[in-house]
Amino acid sequence: MGKVHERIDDRLRRFIEAQHVFFVATAPSGPGGHVNVSPKGIGGTFAVLDDHTVAYVDVTASGSETIAHIRENGRVTIMFCAFEGPPNIVRLHGRGRFVTLYDDGFDELLGLFDSDVDESQGVRAVIVVDVERVSDSCGYGVPFMSYQGERDLLPQYMARKGVEGRADYRRLKNRTSIDGLPAFDMDGAG
């Protein structure tokens, strides 16, 4: 049943790294605004860096809620569910930071992932989370579902746009959150 763990130990790490999808939740500060949850899971784009640090590859898409909320307050929760095998749900609560494609160290960070997605498929940042709380719970209510493969739609869609097309798309869709907070506004004026 549910337990709080001191760290991401080897058993938790194996579980986390075996999942094909995970969910990232963030919220703006204060009583108002929209709480966000985004699905993630392009193969190989999640990594446990050490027993209190995880990271994932953030791809250009129709919104940029997570970066906006991390900029404002840093709070982030990542959730993994077992859809196959023994039941389990793991939550990682922590503080996020991000390194964008325009920042020093981006290529080295991206090189840590077991994936070949890069800027040419829309990667805009790597999100790093300093994990403050590690917990799991029973997962008895999560249905069995079988993995059938990646859709591959998002990276291919972004690849077709080209460098300038991706930057233009982000200028249009990623500059602010749905609440108007500054989000991915690093592409400049264009």
Ligand X SMILES: Cc1cc2nc3c(=O)[nH]c(=O)nc-3n(C[C@H](O)[C@H](O)[C@H](O)COP(=O)(O)O)c2cc1C
**Interface residue list for ligand X (CB under 6 A):** 24, 36, 38-42, 45, 58-59, 61-67, 154
CB 128 within 8 A of CB 96: yes
Residue 58 vs 187, nearer CB to ligand X: 58
Phi, psi of 107 (to 5 degrees): -65, -40
- Residue whose pair of structure tokens reads 């990594």 in the numeric block: 47
5 versus 118: smaller Cβ distance to ligand X = 118
Shortest separation between residue 42's beta carbon and ligand X, angstroms: 4
Residue 60 beta carbon to ligand X: minimum distance, rounded to whole angstroms: 8
Please, what's the largest Cα pairwise distance for the chain?
Answer: 52
Please state, as a whole number, how many other Cβ atoms lie within 10 Å of the Cβ of residue 17: 13
Question: At its nearest, how many Å lie between ligand X and the CB of residue 177?
Answer: 8
Nearer to ligand X, 11 or 160 (CB): 160
Q: Give the nearest distance from C-beta 2 to ligand X in angstroms.
A: 26
Q: Are 122 and 166 in contact (CB under 8 A)?
A: yes
> How far is residue 25's CA from residue 28's CA, in Å, rounded to a whole number?
11
Query: Between 89 and 154, whose beta carbon lies closer to ligand X?
Result: 154
